[in-house]
Amino acid sequence: MSRYDCIFGMSIVASPPHSVPGPSPAGKVGRADNVPLPVRRTPAWKTALQEAIRDPAELCRVLDLPREVVERTAAAARLFGLLVPRGFVARMQKGDPNDPLLRQVLPLDAETLDVPGFIADPVGDGDAKIAPGLLQKYAGRALLIVTGACAVHCRYCFRRHFPYSEAAERGRPWEEAVAAIRRDSAIHEIILSGGDPLTLSDGRLAALARRLAAIPHLTRLRIHSRLPIVLPERVCDEFLNWFARSRLTGVMVVHANHPAEIDDSVAAAFSRLASAGVPILNQAVLLRGVNDSSEVLAELCEKLADLRVMPYYLHQLDRVAGAAHFEVPQDEGLRIIAELRRRLPGYAVPRYVREVTGAPSKMPLESRL
């Protein structure tokens, strides 16, 4: 998604790595109690994010794609920059401009077309704002946009035009949002979103989680993140130490669209989450040229279920400006879901839904089957 550090398509620029001090000079110690200063190390996930690919030409070179592919990226990349971790790129097929993982991140000229019905805010985020960075659309839960940064720029992102600079709270972060949550005892669950909340440090996230856990009427803390898929190093001990041990019941919602996204490193991240007692759900988006077949989605759903991740939602594409070329007709989606129901156990079939502005919940589409 386009996010606060990458507003209106500008790629995020990760903070420079922490400096790592060299060894103390002979006879020197770092503290008065003769204990050397600890070496500060940059977490592996931050290093991987700093090394992510931001140049379409570089991405095409890495994947051995022809020059004409690069030429088709320029205009769209100026509107919404490229950002993709190298570990995710390594799962793509070299030489294939139609690779389903590549299609999700490669800027294309089609994004520059003005298509009727495709708008900047297709899900009504602007109307749902109740405090800076805090949205409420559905009863009992609220969504807190904690950052504008992401680890990957998905070309179909429904918040690619979101005004993160306007949503951000000035001064003390999240103060008004937390106060609004505290005042409303009908809210029981907080969803951390963005951007991607896991681009923030564990220190900042843990501090926010403690503030939320101190609100008596809250019971659950849900995180929506693409990082366990595109940057699985992020599911580290520091993260699990605060998320799995909070008073609030933690729920992780990840986002994978194609079975090729799930390699051994992602499986290991899922295992760490599940072994820590964190329920894991997956949201996918039905995307033309990516997963618009029952065979691909069946493989994805079975792979997820085998790894203790429950397929949760299959979203009909949110009609955001710049993503029209990804849209699959709803009738085709219904046929795919019907085939999944014939092939898979019920718990492995996601709910096919559309988000409708002003509706009290996600709108189920399968009632037409």
Question: What are 158-179's pLDDT values in tens digits?
Answer: 999 998 877 666 657 899 999 9
Instruction: Check residue 171 and give its pLDDT.
Output: 59
Number of H helices, E strands in the chain: 14, 10
Q: Decide: 5 and 152 in contact? Cβ < 8 Å.
A: no
- Distance from C-alpha of 77 to C-alpha of 54, rounded to nearest angstrom: 10
pLDDT-derived band at 41 (thresholds 50, 70, 90) equals confident
Q: Decide: 343 and 298 in contact? Cβ < 8 Å.
A: yes
Question: What is the pLDDT of the chain when averaged over all its residues?
Answer: 90
Instruction: Check residue 169 and give its pLDDT.
Output: 61
- Over range 259-265, report the average pLDDT: 98
Q: Write the pLDDT tens digit of every residue in 309-357.
A: 999 999 999 999 999 999 999 999 999 999 999 999 999 999 999 999 9
Q: Is the model's pLDDT at 298 over the cut of 70?
A: yes
pLDDT-derived band at 87 (thresholds 50, 70, 90) equals very high
**Count of C-beta atoms within a 10 Å radius of residue 145:** 27
Instruction: Check residue 15 and give its pLDDT.
Output: 35
Instruction: Check residue 164 and give its pLDDT.
Output: 84
Read off the tokens for 351.
């709910």
Instruction: Check residue 367 and give its pLDDT.
Output: 73
CA distance readout (Å), 343 to 157, 248, 335, 340: 30, 36, 13, 5
- Over range 283-302, report the average pLDDT: 98
Q: Decide: 233 and 264 in contact? Cβ < 8 Å.
A: no
Q: Decide: 276 and 118 in contact? Cβ < 8 Å.
A: no
Instruction: Check residue 128 and give its pLDDT.
Output: 95
3-class DSSP state of 347: helix
Instruction: Check residue 107 and give its pLDDT.
Output: 98
Residue 96's H or E segment, with its range, is none
Q: What percent of the chain has pLDDT over 70?
A: 88
pLDDT-derived band at 24 (thresholds 50, 70, 90) equals very low
Q: Is the model's pLDDT at 10 over the cut of 50?
A: no
CATH architecture, domain 126-368: Alpha-Beta Barrel (3.20)
How many alpha carbons lie under 13 Å from residue 317 in its C-beta half-sphere? Answer: 29
- Over range 253-258, report the average pLDDT: 98
pLDDT-derived band at 9 (thresholds 50, 70, 90) equals very low
Starting at the edge strand found earlier in the chain, the sheet holding 249-255 runs 129-131, 134-135, 141-145, 189-193, 220-224, 249-255, 280-285, 310-315, 351-354, 363-364
pLDDT-derived band at 23 (thresholds 50, 70, 90) equals very low
Task: Report domain extents, the chain.
Answer: 4-14+43-112, 126-368
Q: Decide: 90 and 53 in contact? Cβ < 8 Å.
A: no
**Count of C-beta atoms within a 10 Å radius of residue 10:** 17
Instruction: Check residue 3 and give its pLDDT.
Output: 36
Instruction: Check residue 18 and give its pLDDT.
Output: 33
Q: What percent of the chain has pLDDT over 90?
A: 85
pTM of the model: 0.88
Higher pLDDT, 134 or 369: 134
**Count of C-beta atoms within a 10 Å radius of residue 74:** 12
Nearest to 85, CA basis, from 47, 57, 117: 47
pLDDT-derived band at 257 (thresholds 50, 70, 90) equals very high
